[in-house]
Copies of this chain bind each other. A is one copy, B any other.
């Protein structure tokens, strides 16, 4: 999906939040902001929002000399999620519909997104996971459950650190031998990389690959040949988070997007209000491009 004009003030705000997150130096914040404002003035709106976020974070990394500024935040939220895991796993085991509950928890974990909200706290995550158990999720869960049974090459696109620990609970409901999980190729924001998949122990369950890219989404033209082979061969893709939706919503593949709706642009596009826990299916016709 293309970047909308409404994305611009939000991306500029994200730039400032990210600059402040990675450094306390106000002069550096000013330089980064001016640099990104200049880049935004030349923006190709045909690009997706994650393509611009990729530019933002490349510049922040270059300006600070820090290749993984969210390293500590990722660890913190991985540990938090791991600490919550035994209790939630118990609830899933006891649930009438364990697949549905695992899916809900995986979507609730999508709240851990430093792109949208750089001030997310551990208590926000506890609250989101606690509430999801009694909340509905929009989407036909049975359809995904059936699709999982019917397809052979399932590719699961992870989104954020912390969240990926909750993804493990959904993975445990899938036919593991048919699943590959993909993470980002390089650090970008608090998105999950191979290290986080390993922290979650997912590499012991399924094959883990990375996509070769440092975009906070899946920009196919930026992904590695290895990833593209898995992507092309997959007959079912489960894609977590807005970044994957923004980059793949026009893709003619069989994709189930699982995400929390976090901004008005995505609310308008999907037809579900901000805050919705959503499962949205594309068809092979890439219908969401026309929404």
Contact = CB atoms under 8 A, between A and B. Distances in A.
A127 interface: no
Contacts of A5: 16, 26, 29-30, 33
Given A12-B8, A12-B9, A37 B34 contact: no
Contacts of A13: 9
Q: Please tell me how many copies of the chain the complex holds.
A: 2
A43 interface: yes
A35 interface: yes
A239 B45 CA distance: 42
* Contact size range, A: 20 to 34
A149 interface: no
A150 interface: no
Interface string A1-20: 00001101110110010000
B6 A30 contact: no
A51 B270 CA distance: 39
Interface string A33-45: 1110110111101
A38 B42 CA distance: 8
A37 B16 contact: no
Contacts of A6: 16
A42 B38 CA distance: 8
Contact of A8 (B33, B41, B42): B33
Interface in A200-258: none
A30 B7 CA distance: 12
Interface of A: 5-6, 8-10, 12-13, 16, 26, 29-30, 33-35, 37-38, 40-43, 45
17 contacts: A5-B16, A5-B29, A8-B16, A8-B33, A8-B37, A9-B9, A9-B13, A30-B45, A34-B40, A34-B42, A35-B41, A37-B37, A37-B38, A37-B40, A37-B43, A38-B41, A41-B41
